[in-house]
Amino acid sequence: MIGFGNVGRSVARILCETTNGALELTHICNRNYKRKMQPWVPADVVWTDDIQQVLGSDVGIVIELIGGLNPAEQIVRGALMAGKSVVTANKQLIARHGPDLLQLAKDHGAQLEFGASVAGGVPVLPALRSGLSGDRLHGISGILNGTCNYILSRIEGARIPFSEALEEAQARGYAEADASEDLDGGDARAKLAILALAGLHARIAPEAIRARSIRTIDAVDFDYAAEIGCTIRQISRADLQEGTLFADVGPSLVYINSPFGRVYANQNLVLTSGKYGGDMAFLGAGAGGDPTAVAVISDLLFVAHNLSAARPEVSSLVSTPRVSSDFESRWYLRFFVKDKPGIVARLSAILAAHHLNINALLQKPGHDKSALPFVITLEPCRDSLLHPALEEMATLEFNTRPSLCLPILG
C-alpha cells in the first residue's frame, strides 16, 4: 500500500479485521511513516518511505492511494511494468491516462482496477464492468461531488448565502480551504471522464468537458426553482449520440421528485441508460474512508481472484443460520367492524394486557357503520409479542372481516 491517509487507514484496518486468506497486507509506504504507525497493524507488515522497496518486492498487487498525477503516475507505471497489478482510487490519473495505463497493464500481464475513483463506495464502476457489460449504454449522469452536494443541500435547507454554506462546509471538513476543484467542477468532470470510458467506451480528456461553477447559485434560486417543482444540484452528464459525446458538469435544475432531487449531503447517485436494459440507478455513500475502502478491497478481491487459480470450497464461505421472521417494527392493524360503543376500549384493553403501546388511532369519516374500517398503529415491538394479542382480537364478535396486520418499515 502506497499512501496511508484516511482511505489507506480504512483499507488496512478492514484487511486486518477480515482475515479471509485471499489478501495479505505486506508493506505500507508513506513519507515520514513513523508518525503514521498504528498498533493494530500486524508486526510483520513492513513500514517504509521508499517506494522502490515496494516495487522491488515480490508483492502481487500495489495499492496506490496518494492521489494526484505526480509521482502517482510514475509509481503506477513502474508497478505495471514490473508485472504487478495495481488498484487505485486516483481519479485524476485514470481520467487522464486510463486507456494508456490499461494497455500497459495488459502488455505486462497485469491488471489495473480503479473502482474507488468514482462515487466512493457506490459500486457503479464494478457494475459497468460486470452486470451492465451485456448492455450497450448511451447515457450516464450523476451527482458525483459530495462537497457541491453538501453546499447546495445546505443552501436549499437553510436558504443561506453560498459563501456561508461554503464556510460551514470548510469548518466541518467537507470542503478544503481552496475548494475550487470541487466548486468549479474539476473533480466531477474527471469522474465523468472515467464513467464515459468505463460505460460508454469513450476516451475523452477531462478538460474537453465543459464545467460550470456552483459559486453563482443564490439562495433565491432555490425559491424560484421550487416554484416550478425543482431544486438545484451539481449534475454531471454524458450522452453518446451518433459519434458525438454530449457532456456537461455544473449546477442544474432537477425535479424535486426525481431521483436527483432527493440526493442529500454526501450521497452520490449515478443513472445509466442502456439500449436493452433501460435506466438503472445506483445510490450510496460517495466518499469517506470506509465506503471508499470497500471499493478498494472489492477491487483487491477481484484482482486476487483472477491471479489465483485456487478457489475456496463453497461450503467454507456459506453459513446456515437460524431463520426467523420475528422482526421488531411498528405495526399497522386494520379492522372492519360492525360499529357499536366500546370497540376501541375492548381492543385497547387487549393490547394493554399484552404490554403493547398504541401509537395512533385512525378513523376516516364517510364509511358504512355496518362494516367500518379503522386503524390502530403500534409502537415498535416484536412480531412474537404481537401475535397472541392478534389472536385474541380475532375472536371478538364485532369483526366483520379478518383484521390486517402489516409492519411499518423505516
Which residues form the catalytic set? 191
CA-to-CA distance for 170 and 163, rounded, in angstroms?
11
Which span (66-74, 158-166, 180-188, 246-254) binds a second copy, by CB under 8 A? Answer: 246-254
Instruction: Rule CB under 8 A: choose which of 51, 148, 179, 247 binds a second copy.
Output: 247
Instruction: Rule CB under 8 A: choose which of 63, 79, 194, 295 binds a second copy.
Output: 295
> Which residue's CB is nearer to a second copy, number 51 or number 295?
295
- CA distances 145 to 30, 151, 250, 261, Å, are 27, 10, 10, 15
> Which residue's CB is nearer to a second copy, number 72 or number 296?
296
- Binding residues among 362-401 for a second copy as defined by CB under 8 A: 362, 364, 367, 373, 375, 377
CA-to-CA distance for 381 and 346, rounded, in angstroms?
20
> Which residue's CB is nearer to a second copy, number 49 or number 326?
326
- Binding residues among 5-64 for a second copy as defined by CB under 8 A: 10, 14, 18
* Minimal distance, residue 34 CB to a second copy, in Å: 27
Q: What is the dihedral of CA 114, 65, 286, 272, to 10 degrees?
A: -10
Edge-to-edge strand list for the sheet holding 112-113: 61-64, 85-88, 112-113
* Minimal distance, residue 168 CB to a second copy, in Å: 22
Contact assessment for residue 378 and residue 386, using Cβ atoms and an 8 Å cutoff:
yes
> Which residue's CB is nearer to a second copy, number 84 or number 237?
237
* Minimal distance, residue 397 CB to a second copy, in Å: 21
CA-to-CA distance for 178 and 168, rounded, in angstroms?
14
Name all contacts of 9-14 with Cβ < 8 Å and 24+ positions apart.
9/38, 9/289, 10/289, 10/290, 10/292, 10/293, 11/63, 11/65, 11/293, 11/296, 11/297, 12/38, 12/41, 13/40, 13/293, 14/290, 14/293, 14/294, 14/297
CA-to-CA distance for 86 and 79, rounded, in angstroms?
7
* Minimal distance, residue 333 CB to a second copy, in Å: 10
Which 3 state secondary structure label does DSSP give 88? strand
- Binding residues among 116-175 for a second copy as defined by CB under 8 A: 121-127, 129-136, 141
The DSSP output letter for 237 is E
- Burial pattern 139-174, b for ≥16 Cβ within 10 A else e, equals bbbbbbbbbbbbbbbbbbeeebebeebbebbbeeeb
CA-to-CA distance for 215 and 224, rounded, in angstroms?
17
- Binding residues among 338-367 for a second copy as defined by CB under 8 A: 360, 362, 364, 367
- Binding residues among 184-243 for a second copy as defined by CB under 8 A: 197, 201-204, 208-210, 216-218, 220-221, 223-225, 227-228, 230, 232, 235, 237, 239-240, 243
CA-to-CA distance for 111 and 133, rounded, in angstroms?
18
> Which residue's CB is nearer to a second copy, number 173 or number 410?
410
> Which residue's CB is nearer to a second copy, number 245 or number 350?
245
- How many residues bind a second copy (CB under 8 A)? The answer is 120
Q: Does 179 bind a second copy (CB under 8 A)?
A: no
> Which residue's CB is nearer to a second copy, number 341 or number 366?
366
Which span (27-35, 313-321, 342-350, 387-395) binds a second copy, by CB under 8 A? Answer: 313-321
* Minimal distance, residue 261 CB to a second copy, in Å: 9
- Binding residues among 92-121 for a second copy as defined by CB under 8 A: 99, 102-103, 106, 115, 121
